[in-house]
Amino acid sequence: MLKKVSLTVFALLLSFTLSFPVAAFQAKVEKVKGSVVSIKNLGQMPPWVKKGALAKTSVGLAKVQGVDGDMVDIKVKASTAKKLKAGDALEVKPKNADSSQTLQGC
């Protein structure tokens, strides 16, 4: 009996987790210093954005170096950082974000 209840609760939690959209956000590049890029979040800060979090941006993979209000410092490859300049727009989402995890409608 306890095993059935546990499995049911686990299944419900899993279905709720997969039904919510991935919290991506839009950002603007403020400055680039070496391989560290400072970006400004243009909306609400998702809860997954914390120091050490891995992110997928519209220009490649990144690691969050720090968060201060709506400013986020991310570390990217040096070759990627050279391509970025102040004012560039970026979309940032968790590295493990998968389009199958977002709501697709009815």
Q: What is the amino acid identity at position 48?
A: W
* Tens of pLDDT, residues 19-40: 445 689 999 999 999 999 999 9
Domain assignment present for 37: yes
Q: What is the CATH number of the domain that holds 82?
A: 2.40.30.20
**Does residue 106 register a pLDDT over 80?**
no
Please tell me the distance from the alpha carbon of residue 85 to that of residue 89, in angstroms, as a whole number.
9
Domain assignment present for 1: no
Domain assignment present for 56: yes
* Tens of pLDDT, residues 3-23: 776 666 666 555 555 444 568
Burial class (CB in 10 A: 0-12, 13-18, 19+), 27: buried
Please tell me the distance from the alpha carbon of residue 9 to that of residue 30, in angstroms, as a whole number.
45
Which domain, by its residues, includes 87?
Answer: 22-97
Dihedral of alpha carbons 82, 87, 90, 92, sign: positive
Total domains in the fold of the chain: 1
DSSP at 53: -
Q: Quick one: pLDDT at residue 19? A: 45
Domain assignment present for 106: no
Please tell me the distance from the alpha carbon of residue 103 to that of residue 88, in angstroms, as a whole number.
28
Lowest mean pLDDT, pick from 17-21, 57-61, 91-95: 17-21
Residue with tokens 């050490």: 52
Domain assignment present for 2: no
The answer to whether 76 and 62 are in contact (CB under 8 A) is yes
Domain assignment present for 9: no
Domain assignment present for 13: no
Centroid of chain to Cα 2: 37
| pTM (2 d.p.) | 0.69
